[in-house]
Amino acid sequence: MTTVLDVLRDRGYGDVDEAALVRAVQDVLPARTDGGTGALPGDAETFMAAHSGISMSDEAIAGAGQRLAARRIAEAAQTLDTAAVAALLGVHRTRVQHLRDDGDLFAYRDGRLNRYPLWQFTDHPRPLPGLRQVLAALGPAHRSVVTGFMTTVHPELDTGAGPVSACEWLAGGLDPAPVVELTSGVAQPW
């Protein structure tokens, strides 16, 4: 039988923190208190069917939970903890914390640990140049918003060879100002 760790290793994520993956699944799958079924109470299921167009069958709910857990596992597999970032950059752990505090690195909390998405490092490996300005312009945003913004190809960021993502733009050493300008559509107050 193939395990999640087998799939991740096959995709090049051999040094994945298994505990981080377990926490990722725990975060998206709350404890079931309904006796084991995913069904909604009758009125809620009727309302959802009438107004949302979403199927609330046990199979649909289970499938949605599995897809959400898979996305969360993939996200966690593409991050490093503080010690791994220190090793990657060849610096002490406290330097990593200073880079985070100064806005040169993006991290989110995972239990008691900080997790650093891999997209923010160049191939050399160094933090993306200009990331501080972009993160400041984004302001406080959920990790999925920041990751989505940084890794999505933006037509406005055209290098001449075609549009690129914000992290590819910054990794190329290009001016962060156009990326900062794009954040105005993202950094909206809730």
**190 in a domain, yes or no?**
no
The dihedral formed by the CA atoms of 142, 143, 144 and 148, expressed in degrees to the nearest 10: 110
The predicted pLDDT at position 80 comes to 92
Whether residues 26 and 56 fall in one domain:
yes
Whether residues 61 and 97 fall in one domain:
no
**88 in a domain, yes or no?**
yes
Chunked mean pLDDT (size 10), the chain, 190 residues: 76 70 67 56 72 70 75 82 95 97 94 92 94 93 90 94 95 95 72
Taking phi over 0 as left and psi of -120 to 50 as alpha, with beta for the rest, 168 belongs to alpha
- Contact assessment for residue 132 and residue 104, using Cβ atoms and an 8 Å cutoff: yes
Whether residues 111 and 168 fall in one domain:
yes
Whether residues 88 and 170 fall in one domain:
yes
Quote the domain boundaries for residue 24.
4-77
**18 in a domain, yes or no?**
yes
Provide CB contacts within 8 A for 172, sequence distance 6+.
159, 164
- Global pTM reads 0.71
- Contact assessment for residue 133 and residue 169, using Cβ atoms and an 8 Å cutoff: no
* Token pair for 167: 């992290």
Q: Which one of 77, 98, 113 terminates a domain?
A: 77
* Token pair for 100: 């985070």
Number of structural domains the chain divides into: 2
**118 in a domain, yes or no?**
yes
